[in-house]
C-alpha cells in the first residue's frame, strides 16, 4: 500500500494537470485555426442551447474527420463507429504531452488512486477491460434493471411529493439530481453517508473528465475525488456496514484479490459519479426541451417517456459530448492514413448531428431515430455499462414529472454546465403551475 501513496498530491497534482490539460489550456486562440475549424469550435464552443445546436447542425453537413490544433476531430457517425469498434485504437487516458505518457503512468502508480481516473473501465482496453466488465456486468443487465423499476417509481413518487405546495423550483436541484442519487444509492448499496459523497463527486469531481481545465478546477476536483477514495478505504476496512449491491460486491472481490485497490476505487467511482451525473443531465435537458416545444402530449406513453422519444432526446442533447481514442498502430479511417500514436477527439454531440446518418438532425423528430440509435451511450466494447439503468430511471422520472406538471413554465435564469465534455443544466428555474 505504501508504494501507491508515495508521491504527495502537492507534487503530483501540478504535474498531472500539466500533462493532461496544460497544453490545451495554454493554447492561444491564434493557434486554434480559422473560424469554423472543428478543433476551435470544440475548445471554444458557442453558447449552449440553440446556438450550440446550430453549430452542430452546420458541422453535420460536412461530417467526417478533421485536422485541427487539438488533433484529429471526428464528427462523422460512420467514422466514429469505425474507430470505436476497431482494435487498432486504444481507450487509454490521453496525455496532452505524448512523450511524457510513461512518466504520467508512473505518477499514477505512485499517487493516491482517485475515481474518474485510470484504471477506470472507460480508460482500459481488452483484455483488462473485459476482465473487469465481466465482474460487474451481471448487476447491470436489462433484466436486473427492469426488476428495479418499482423501486425507481417509488423514489420518483417520493421526490414529486416533496414538490407539493411549491410554485417555483430549480428543476436540477429539486428534482433531476434527487432521483438518480436515491436510485443509485439503493440499487448499488451505498450507505447514507456515501450518497452525499457520490453527489459531491458528481457535482465537483466530474470536472476532471473535462478537457483543458484550469489548475484550480483540477485541484478542486482531485480534492473531492480523494475524499471518495477515503470513503472506499473506510468501506474496505468495515465491509459489514455495506448493504448488498455493487459496492459490497466490488469490495468483496478486492478483499479476495480479484481487484487491485486502484481498480476498486476507479471502477466504483466511475459507475457512481459519471453515470449519475449524465442521468441528471438527461432528465433536466429532456424536460426543458419538451416544455420549450410544447410536446408533453406527444412524448408520453402510459405516463412514461416512450422508447422512441428517449432515443431522440438522447441524440438531440447528448449528456456526453466527447470521447477519445489513440491509434495503437498505423491504421486508416476511410481513405485517411493515420499514424500510430495519433489522438482522435470523437465529438459525440457532432456525430449525433451527422446529416448522412439522420434525415433532419437539427430538428427534434422521431424520424431521426427510425432504425438508428445515437452515439450517446457509445458503441462497441465500451458501450455504457449503465445504459439500461439510465434509460429506465430517465423514462420514469421524465414521464412522471411531465405527467404531474404538464403546464410547467420555464423561467429565465437557466444555466448550462461549463464543460465541453458533460452537457447539461446546473440550474433551470420552473413555475410548476397546477398539477394535472
Is 203 inside any structural domain? yes
Between the ranges 44-48, 174-178, 243-247, where is the mean pLDDT highest?
A: 174-178
| 119 prior amide bond cis, ω within 30 | yes
* pLDDT for residue 193: 52
Q: Is the pLDDT of residue 313 over 80?
A: yes
Summarize the confidence of residues 359-387 as an average pLDDT: 93
Q: What is the pLDDT of residues 385-425, one digit of tens each?
A: 889 889 999 999 999 999 999 999 999 999 999 999 999 99
Is 115 inside any structural domain? yes
Summarize the confidence of residues 217-224 as an average pLDDT: 90
The model carries a pTM of: 0.93
Is 430 inside any structural domain? no
Is 405 inside any structural domain? no
Cell numbers placing 67: 485536422
Cα–Cα nearest to 378, from 153, 161, 74: 74
- Percentage of the residues of the chain whose pLDDT score is greater than 70: 96
Task: Find the CATH number of the domain harbouring 359.
Answer: 1.10.630.10
Domain count, the chain: 1
Range of the domain at 379: 9-162+171-399
Asked if 380 and 85 touch (Cβ cutoff 8 Å), the reply is yes
* pLDDT for residue 204: 75
Between the ranges 180-184, 206-210, 227-231, 414-418, where is the mean pLDDT highest?
A: 414-418
Is 4 inside any structural domain? no
Is 422 inside any structural domain? no
Q: In 383-417, which positions are buried (b, 16+ CB within 10 angstroms) versus exposed (e)? A: ebbbbbbbbbbbbbbbbbbbbbbbebeeeeebebb
Is 61 inside any structural domain? yes
Is 434 inside any structural domain? no
Asked if 273 and 194 touch (Cβ cutoff 8 Å), the reply is no
Amino acid at each position: 500500500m505504501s508504494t501507491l501513496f508515495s508521491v504527495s498530491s502537492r507534487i503530483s497534482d501540478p504535474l498531472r494537470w500539466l500533462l493532461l490539460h496544460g497544453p490545451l489550456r495554454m493554447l492561444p486562440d491564434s493557434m486554434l485555426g480559422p473560424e469554423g475549424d472543428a478543433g476551435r469550435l470544440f475548445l471554444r464552443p458557442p453558447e449552449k442551447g440553440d446556438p450550440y445546436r446550430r453549430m452542430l447542425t452546420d458541422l453535420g453537413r460536412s461530417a467526417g474527420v478533421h485536422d485541427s490544433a487539438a488533433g484529429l476531430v471526428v464528427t462523422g457517425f460512420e467514422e466514429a463507429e469505425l474507430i470505436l469498434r476497431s482494435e487498432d485504437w486504444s481507450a487509454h487516458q490521453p496525455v496532452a504531452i505524448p512523450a511524457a505518457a510513461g512518466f504520467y503512468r508512473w505518477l499514477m502508480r505512485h499517487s493516491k488512486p482517485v475515481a474518474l481516473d485510470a484504471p477506470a473501465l472507460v480508460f482500459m482496453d481488452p483484455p483488462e477491460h473485459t476482465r473487469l466488465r465481466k465482474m460487474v456486468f451481471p448487476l447491470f443487465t436489462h433484466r436486473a434493471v427492469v426488476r428495479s423499476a418499482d423501486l425507481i417509481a417509488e423514489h420518483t413518487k417520493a421526490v414529486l411529493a416533496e414538490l407539493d405546495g411549491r410554485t417555483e423550483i430549480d428543476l436540477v436541484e429539486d428534482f433531476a439530481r434527487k432521483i438518480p442519487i436515491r436510485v443509485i444509492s439503493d440499487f448499488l448499496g451505498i450507505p447514507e453517508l456515501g450518497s452525499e459523497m457520490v453527489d459531491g463527486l458528481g457535482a465537483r469531481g466530474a470536472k476532471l473528465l473535462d478537457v483543458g481545465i484550469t489548475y484550480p478546477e483540477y485541484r478542486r476536483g482531485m480534492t473531492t475525488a480523494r475524499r471518495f477514495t477515503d470513503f472506499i478505504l473506510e468501506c474496505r476496512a468495515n465491509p459489514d456496514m455495506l448493504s448488498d449491491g455493487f459496492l459490497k460486491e466490488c469490495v468483496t472481490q478486492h478483499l479476495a484479490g480479484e481487484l487491485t485497490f486502484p481498480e476498486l476505487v476507479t471502477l466504483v467511482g466511475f459507475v457512481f459519479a459519471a453515470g449519475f451525473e449524465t442521468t441528471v443531465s438527461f432528465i433536466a435537458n429532456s424536460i426543458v426541451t419538451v416544455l420549450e416545444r410544447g410536446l408533453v402530449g406527444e412524448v408520453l406513453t402510459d405516463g412514461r417517456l416512450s422508447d422512441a422519444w428517449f432515443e431522440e432526446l438522447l441524440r438531440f442533447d447528448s449528456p456526453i459530448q466527447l470521447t477519445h481514442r489513440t491509434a495503437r498502430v498505423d491504421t486508416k479511417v476511410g481513405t485517411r492514413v493515420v499514424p500510430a500514436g495519433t489522438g482522435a477527439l470523437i465529438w459525440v454531440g457532432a456525430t449525433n448531428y451527422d446529416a448522412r446518418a439522420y434525415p433532419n438532425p437539427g430538428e427534434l423528430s422521431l424520424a431521426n431515430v427510425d432504425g438508428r440509435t445515437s452515439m450517446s451511450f457509445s458503441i462497441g466494447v465500451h458501450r455504457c455499462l449503465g445504459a439500461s439503468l439510465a434509460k429506465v430511471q430517465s423514462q420514469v422520472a421524465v414521464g412522471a414529472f411531465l405527467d404531474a406538471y404538464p403546464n410547467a413554465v420555464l423561467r429565465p435564469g437557466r444555466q448550462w454546465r461549463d464543460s465541453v465534455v458533460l452537457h447539461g443544466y446546473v440550474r433551470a428555474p420552473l413555475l410548476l403551475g397546477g398539477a394535472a
